[in-house]
Structures are given as structure tokens and as C-alpha cells.
């Protein structure tokens, strides 16, 4: 016999639950009415009545039977206590804020949710469906899945348990897709066998299908490498060559002319293939109501031979050219797309003006000045920090640690992140100093908070333990991350450092200022900042050694969290000048956005902190429109190569649909003091007609930011 629960699911009938419920009501009385044997008899009788129905019974039916039976045996006080408890639970369910939040999502009245992700439109049905599911997941996490102290700390802004809206499911975070394996050895998509492609264009189409499938099977970002597509250029070349020879059969055509025709057609196919990737990724919508958060990696030294290297250069060239052009919006105007994010690796063969592939870097510089991508990884600097390896971020900034397989070979593609928990460093500092504490108090509280983060991270890890490969076949069975068997668990991939799990941190700038009244740009502030970073690293190393899990230190990309942390700090500590007086706190180790420093100093200074944030980091410099000053962009990019592992340039790429203005759109206050966007040309303040692109937290975002992030964007000063 089964019981129908309130959510519609069924479970086996259990008489002991009836016994426990009656006993709880009986024990709540000053003087108990029933003996244990009487309680047992009442429960057995109710069980008998349920069995006679010869069907599944609902929880409400059983509760009605309990009330009637208690009254029937003369236990009126026990019945009253039982009814009272039942009514309280009814009120609690009725007042469940999750219901209200879900209804507000449907009605698009929930401002917090509407501004949660600058690349998700909260009006469309698929996004609403994802948000609704997220509210249920968060509710389950808070009530059932997470310890009370973790939930409390998360609600108070002491820590951030990221992606709680996906925590109920057994899914992972960011990853490096093993596109090479999937394209060369085949894969399966929607139960359909996809064999190794016989042309570059087909490889591009399959790649977009893989990206979409992966995005719908995880949360967070994913990265693919163009080097994995490069071998298929020569596959197309051979096919095209054979076709041209057949077309020209019997004609007197020189070998050189044949090669010209072949290479021209190869270029046409590369152009069409890259166009497929760009437009498919932009127009695809995953099950969570947004384009895939995908990063495309461009690194010449991943090529395995000279032919492949030349073909990879051809692909990179076309990718940069197409991104420079942009994509047309519904008005037919070329705009800057948010995805895919591009990462370009600088190396000896492309960083100097006499380098053989300098023309690619020139294209990258031109594209950056107009479209804010690509971002730049320095092979030189990354190799110093990553055991002579260079590889992409997983998404926008999450980096793996070097790891070797059983043959002693380094492996990066096919690896992933288990999740992130972020520590609010500003709260640690304020908690230590405000009651009259000192730096020793700070270290003590920091260690306590780190253990709380550790507990939360263990929850993330343990939630994944026992997950079967069947939950996401594209990831675990068909090559994106692994080739596990059906029914096999992913457990072995959660240990040994194969995957990472991230301790995030936020607000190092404000933390140090609260403790010392010095900035990270001053010697005393820098010294303490680096000491704090080292403590975080040492703690991760301690956890890793004890548990064989890949803990790493991660500079959190605070999108909405910058605002929620700031609000929590003001609630707990009031307004502290230079610490809690903004509607945002500073990302990770970054120099404060209002600090007037030049681009080269900022990059050199932040490079010191990047070296201690190897589980995730990215730096940026804010620059004006440099399309007419590409020499300045060149200087910055070459400086990055010699000084910092991973960095980007932020410019502006806005558009007003009302008047066609193509320039920087202003951020102003409306009559209620709310920050809004306004066209400086026509004065338009219709937010739906203004297209504003800014780098929000690693990825580009469009104007759907919360007030804290909008204030932070408004406060940014130029570094050049």
C-alpha cells in the first residue's frame, strides 16, 4: 500500500509514522492522555482502515483518520494538540515564500530574478521555466539539502553558495570540452550516432550541436579549442582537391592553378564553417533560456604539425574577422554579440611585429578595440605558473591545476569544476575590527569562516558522489568529459585533482582597507593582501592533501553577488567609508574601479595577485574608444605578454535603436534615484531600445544588471 504525498509522489505506507505523530501530540500535553499501547492500537486501526480502501491514500486522508480516531477513543486533548500542529504546518506551507517567488517570476514582477543574469531575458517562457525550477531547487537546498549554518551564512551574506538554483540536481559546473575526442572518435547526440565528420563545415555544425547539448547538461561555462577543428580543414582540402581534379579532367591546367582553386574553396568552407559556429551559438537557446556560455580558445601551439598550424591560423583569422564585423540585430544594425567569448594566446610566433603570425595579433587588436574580444592569455606567463603548460579557462576565468594521466601525460580537456563557494572577505575584516578587535582577531575569524566554506564545499562534492553517467550521457558517456559505461558513477573523476572545486573570495580591496586603512596599491596594503591570499592558498592545499580533492583558489566573478554582499555588509555594519559605502564590493583581488591608476601599473600590480589565484582569475583595464589608436592597444597587449597571465581590455560598444547612435550610452539617475541608461544623442531612456554591452564579470553582458553592478559600471575610471 502506498501513500500519496502532497507533491504528488508516492511512497510506501509506514504505520510507524502515524505512531510518531500521535506520540508527539500526546507528549506535548502537560499530562499525557494515552499510553504507548493505546497509541499503537490507534495507529494499527488507522492502518486497517487504509488497507480496506484498497488503493493509495493521501496524506490528508490519513490525517483526517487520525483526528477522528483520537476523538473516538476519548483523547480530546491529544486530538486538539494534533489539530493545532497540523494547522500550523498548513499555514507554513501556505505562506511558503517559494510559491510567491515563482508566481512573481511568471508575472515578471521579481526584480531580483530579472536582474540576476545580464544575458537571460526573464520575460521568455524558457527562462521563466528555468528560474521556476531554480526557486524550487533553492528551497530544497535551504530546507533539506544543506546544513543550517551554511544556509544561515549564505542568507546573511557571510558566504555565497553559488548556483543553489541547480544544487538539487547532480550536475557539474564549468568544463573544458574534449572536442578533439568527440570529433575524431565520434559521439552520440539525442540517441543518434555522430561519426567523425568528413569535412570542416560538418565538423563546425557538429561542434555547435555539442555545445548546445553540453550547455543543457551543466551549469556554468564551457570552453572549446579551435585547434580541435583544425585537422578537418585538411580533410576538406583533400576532398576538394579530388573534386577539382575531376572537374578539370581533360583540361590543360597547371598544378599551381589547381592549388589556387583548391585553397580558394578551402577558404570559402572555413568562412562558412566559422559563420555557422558564430550564428548558431548566438541563436541557440539552451534549456535554461539563454545562449550557451561558451569560450572559444585560439592557441597556435596546440597544433600538432606545420600543416595543422597553418590551417589553425586560417581558422583563427576568419574567427577574428567575423567577430570584428559583429552580428545584425533585428533592426539590421551590426552590434557586439555577447557570445562566444574569445581567448587569444600570445606567444613568440605572434607577439612581435616580425613574428610570422603577427598579422593575427593585429587582427585581434583591431577586434578588441571595437568588440571587446578577444581576451589575452600570455603563453609566457602561464607556463611560469602552470608547470610549463598553456590551456584555456573553463568558461570565463576558472582554471584547472596541471594533472597527469596514468601515462604521465598532462591532460586538460575533459576536465571540469565541481562548484564554487565564495567567502566575503570584507565581512571577515568588519567582524574582526568593529568590536574593537585587531589583526589577530581577523586571522582567527578568517580560519573559522574558511572551515564554514570547507563544510559548504564538501556539500557540493558529496552531492555529486554516486552520480551515474546516465544523468548526462553527452558529458559522461559520449566524450565531452569522459567515456564511462551506462550505470557507472562519476566518482573517480571527483578525486585526485582531476576536477577542481573552488574556494572563491571577494572584496580583498575593502578587506585590507578596513584592517589597515591602506590600499592594495600601497606597500603595507599590498603586503597584507598577499598574506591573506597565501593563507587562502595554504588552506586549500591542506584540504587537498587531507582529502585528495582538487580544492583551488578562485577569484569569483561577482555578478549579482557584488550587490547582495554589499547590502548584507551595510545591514550588519552600517556605512563605513571606503569599505561599505558602495552598492557593490570589489571583485576578487582587483584594484577598486574608482582608483585612478594607469593601465600598465594596474596590470603589473594585479599580476602579483593572479599568481596566488590560480584556480581562477582575470584582470582588465578600462579604456576609451581606441579604434583610431590601435597602437595603444598594441602596447597594452604586448605588455600583457611580458607581465600578466590573463587579461582583457574594456571599452564600450553601445547602440540606440531609437536614433541609431553608435557610441557610449550614459548611466544616469531617474527621478526616483534609480540608475538607468540614457542615450546622449536623443535622450531615449526606454531601456528596451538601448543596447549596452559591458564586461560584467568575465563574459560580456547586456543591460539587465542590478543596481549594485550598474553603480560599479558607472564608477569605473579609465586607465588609459
Q: Cite the active site residues.
A: 173-174, 394, 396, 398, 417, 554, 559, 698
The angle that helices 306-325 and 255-283 make with each other, rounded to 10 degrees, is: 50
Nearest alpha-carbon partner for 413 in 649, 714, 161, 181: 181
- What is the Cβ-side half-sphere exposure of residue 140, based on CA atoms within 13 angstroms? 15
Nearest alpha-carbon partner for 602 in 622, 588, 585, 582: 622
Nearest alpha-carbon partner for 697 in 171, 119, 47: 119
- What is the Cβ-side half-sphere exposure of residue 352, based on CA atoms within 13 angstroms? 6
**Integer CA distances (angstroms), 465 to 453, 468, 620, in order:** 19, 9, 37
Place of cell 540608475: 675
Q: Is 204 exposed, middle or buried (0-12, 13-18, 19+ CB in 10 A)?
A: buried
Nearest alpha-carbon partner for 657 in 693, 617, 684: 684
DSSP 312: H
Q: In what order do the strands lie in the sheet with 222-225?
A: 175-176, 222-225, 294-298, 341-346, 375-378, 646-650, 619-622
Helix (H) or strand (E) holding 502: strand 500-506
Q: How far apart are CA 149 and CA 512, in angstroms?
A: 26
* Beta pairing class for 375-378 and 646-650: antiparallel
The angle that helices 76-94 and 15-27 make with each other, rounded to 10 degrees, is: 110
Find the angle CA(618)-CA(116)-CA(570) to the nearest 5 degrees. Answer: 80
Q: What does the radius of gyration of the chain's CA atoms come to, in whole angstroms?
A: 29
Nearest alpha-carbon partner for 423 in 391, 450, 458: 450
Place of cell 510506501: 12
- What is the Cβ-side half-sphere exposure of residue 420, based on CA atoms within 13 angstroms? 27
Q: How far apart are CA 109 and CA 163, in angstroms?
A: 21
User: What are 165's three cell numbers?
Assistant: 538554483
User: What are 246's three cell numbers?
Assistant: 575531376
Sequential DSSP letters for 342-402: EEEEE-TTTSSTTSTTHHHHHHHHHHHHHH---EEEEHHHHHHHTTT-----BTTTB-PPP
Q: How far apart are CA 28 and CA 52, in angstroms?
A: 31
Place of cell 544556509: 151
Contact 505, 425 (CB under 8 A): yes
Amino acid at each position: 500500500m502506498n501513500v500519496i504525498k502532497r507533491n504528488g509522489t508516492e511512497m510506501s505506507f509506514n504505520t510507524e509514522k502515524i505512531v510518531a505523530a500521535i506520540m508527539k501530540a500526546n507528549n506535548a500535553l502537560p499530562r499525557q492522555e494515552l499510553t504507548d499501547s493505546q497509541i499503537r492500537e490507534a495507529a494499527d486501526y488507522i492502518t486497517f482502515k487504509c488497507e480496506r480502501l484498497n488503493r493509495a491514500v493521501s496524506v490528508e486522508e490519513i490525517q483526517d483518520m487520525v483526528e477522528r480516531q483520537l476523538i473516538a477513543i476519548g483523547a480530546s486533548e491529544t486530538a486538539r494538540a494534533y489539530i493545532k500542529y497540523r494547522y500550523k504546518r498548513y499555514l507554513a506551507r501556505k505562506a511558503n515564500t517559494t510559491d510567491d517567488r515563482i508566481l512573481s517570476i511568471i508575472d515578471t514582477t521579481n526584480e531580483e530574478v530579472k536582474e540576476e543574469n545580464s544575458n537571460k531575458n526573464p520575460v521568455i517562457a524558457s527562462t521563466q521555466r528555468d528560474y521556476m525550477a531554480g526557486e524550487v531547487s533553492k528551497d530544497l537546498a535551504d530546507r533539506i539539502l544543506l546544513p543550517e549554518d551554511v544556509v544561515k551564512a549564505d542568507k546573511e551574506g557571510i558566504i555565497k553558495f553559488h548556483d543553489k538554483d541547480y544544487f538539487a540536481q547532480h550536475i557539474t559546473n564549468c568544463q573544458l570540452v574534449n572536442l578533439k575526442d568527440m570529433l575524431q572518435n565520434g559521439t552520440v547526440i539525442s540517441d543518434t550516432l555522430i561519426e567523425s565528420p568528413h569535412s570542416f563545415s560538418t565538423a563546425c555544425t557538429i561542434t555547435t550541436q555539442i555545445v548546445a547539448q553540453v550547455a543543457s547538461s551543466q551549469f556554468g561555462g564551457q570552453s572549446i579549442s579551435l585547434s580541435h577543428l583544425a585537422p578537418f580543414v585538411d580533410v576538406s582540402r583533400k576532398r576538394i582537391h579530388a573534386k577539382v581534379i575531376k572537374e578539370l579532367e581533360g583540361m590543360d591546367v597547371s598544378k599551381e592553378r589547381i592549388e589556387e582553386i583548391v585553397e580558394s574553396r578551402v577558404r570559402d568552407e572555413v568562412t562558412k564553417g566559422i559563420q555557422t559556429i558564430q550564428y548558431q551559438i548566438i541563436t541557440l537557446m539552451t534549456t535554461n533560456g539563454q545562449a550557451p556560455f561558451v569560450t572559444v580558445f585560439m592557441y597556435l601551439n596546440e597544433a600538432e604539425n606545420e600543416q595543422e598550424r597553418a590551417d589553425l591560423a586560417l581558422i583563427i583569422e576568419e574567427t577574428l574577422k567575423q567577430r570584428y564585423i559583429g552580428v545584425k540585430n533585428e533592426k539590421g544594425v551590426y552590434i557586439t554579440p555577447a557570445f562566444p567569448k574569445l581567448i587569444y594566446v600570445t606567444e613568440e610566433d605572434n607577439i612581435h611585429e616580425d613574428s610570422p603570425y603577427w598579422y593575427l595579433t593585429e587582427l585581434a587588436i583591431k577586434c578588441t578595440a571595437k568588440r571587446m574580444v578577444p581576451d589575452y592569455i600570455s603563453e609566457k606567463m602561464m607556463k611560469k605558473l602552470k608547470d610549463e603548460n598553456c590551456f584555456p579557462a573553463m568558461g570565463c576565468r576558472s582554471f584547472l591545476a596541471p594533472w597527469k594521466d596514468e601515462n604521465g601525460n598532462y591532460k586538460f580537456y575533459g576536465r571540469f569544476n565541481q562548484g564554487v563557494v565564495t567567502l566575503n572577505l570584507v565581512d571577515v575584516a568588519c567582524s574582526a575590527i568593529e568590536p574593537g578587535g585587531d589583526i589577530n582577531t581577523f586571522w582567527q575569524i578568517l580560519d573559522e569562516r574558511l572551515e564554514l566554506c570547507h563544510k559548504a564545499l564538501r556539500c557540493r562534492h558529496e552531492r555529486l558522489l554516486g552520480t551515474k553517467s546516465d544523468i548526462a550521457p553527452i558529458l559522461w558517456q559520449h566524450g565531452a568529459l569522459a567515456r564511462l559505461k551506462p550505470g557507472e558513477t562519476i566518482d573517480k573523476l571527483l578525486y585526485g585533482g582531476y576536477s577542481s572545486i573552488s574556494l572563491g573570495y571577494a572584496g580583498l580591496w575593502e578587506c585590507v582597507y578596513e584592517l589597515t586603512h591602506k590600499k592594495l596599491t600601497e606597500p603595507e596594503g599590498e603586503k597584507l593582501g598577499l598574506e591573506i591570499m597565501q593563507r587562502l592558498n595554504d588552506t586549500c592545499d591542506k584540504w587537498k592533501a587531507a582529502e585528495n580533492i582538487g580544492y583551488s583558489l578562485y577569484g569569483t566573478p561577482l555578478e549579482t553577488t557584488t550587490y547582495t554582499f554589499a547590502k548584507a555588509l551595510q545591514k550588519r555594519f552600517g556605512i563605513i567609508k571606503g569599505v561599505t559605502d558602495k552598492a557593490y564590493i570589489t571583485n576578487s583581488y582587483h584594484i577598486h574601479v574608482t582608483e585612478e591608476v594607469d593601465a600598465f601599473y594596474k596590470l603589473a600590480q594585479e599580476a602579483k595577485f593572479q599568481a596566488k589565484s590560480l584556480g581562477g582569475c582575470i584582470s582588465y583595464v578600462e579604456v576609451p574608444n581606441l579604434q583610431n589608436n590601435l597602437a595603444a592597444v598594441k602596447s597594452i597587449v604586448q605588455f600583457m605578454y611580458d607581465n600578466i597571465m590573463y587579461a582583457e581590455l574594456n571599452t564600450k560598444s553601445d547602440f540606440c535603436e531609437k536614433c541609431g547612435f553608435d557610441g557610449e550610452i550614459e548611466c544616469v539617475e531617474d527621478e526616483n534615484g534609480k540608475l538607468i541608461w540614457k542615450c546622449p544623442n536623443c535622450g531615449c531612456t526606454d531601456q528596451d531600445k538601448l543596447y549596452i554591452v559591458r564586461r560584467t564579470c568575465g563574459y560580456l553582458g547586456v543591460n539587465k544588471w542590478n543596481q549594485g553592478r550598474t553603480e560599479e559600471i558607472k564608477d569605473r575610471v579609465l586607465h588609459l
